[in-house]
Amino acid sequence: MNGMKIWKHFKTITYHKYLVMKGCFKVGLYKQGIMHDLSKYSPTEFWVGVKYYQGDRSPNNAEREDIGYSSAWLHHKGRNKHHYEYWIDYSTKNIPGGMAPAPMPERYIVEMLMDRIAACKVYRKDKYTDKAPLEYYLSGKDPAPLHEKTKTLLETLLHMLAEEGEEKTFDYIKKEILHNRKLAS
């Protein structure tokens, strides 16, 4: 294994984790900020990340292109509640595919926002703007299977970030979304 790729991947995921932690701390999500993405350091995710490391996009996409799926992502999404895929469950209703999104607790929607901001900052570097997370969200091939409550809050926050910036959005989150709520996991 290439030692330089190991170091670069470690730096990338650690910088991403630091940015998410910084954002989470600004809104009062201290435990989530510390615990964010710890599974990326597990052998299952870390070594795949090293193998497919490119520096300008997620190694998970490169693994998907190579083998048709991402083993690291399948591991990751099942252990991290800030991913909407964690909240997909079987439905008792007769719907196509038999699966339906459950509503995400607000604190995880906020962590998902911080995750999207950090990913855009890491990969876009000096080209990052507060519009980047919304642009990335809107560029998805198909609409994400989000519960309507989750979708409404996430889109509200992404638009607020794009139009009013980080400081105002984080202040709104802290005062209006998370104020007086029990934040324990």
pLDDT tens-digit map of 70-121: 999 999 999 999 999 999 999 888 777 788 999 999 999 999 999 999 999 9
Whose CA is closest to 157, among 101, 107, 123, 93? Answer: 107
The share of the chain scoring above pLDDT 90, in percent, equals 84
Question: How sure is the predictor about 180, in pLDDT bands with cuts at 50, 70 and 90?
Answer: low
pLDDT for the residue numbered 142 = 79
The 10s digit of each residue's pLDDT in 116-155 is 999 999 999 999 999 999 999 999 877 888 999 999 999 9
pLDDT for the residue numbered 144 = 83
Domain ranges of the chain: 3-177
* CA atoms of 172 and 82, how far apart (whole Å): 19
Question: pTM for this structure?
Answer: 0.92
For residue 89, the surrounding DSSP H or E stretch is: strand 88-90
The share of the chain scoring above pLDDT 70, in percent, equals 96
Please give the residue that has the higher pLDDT: either 170 or 1.
170
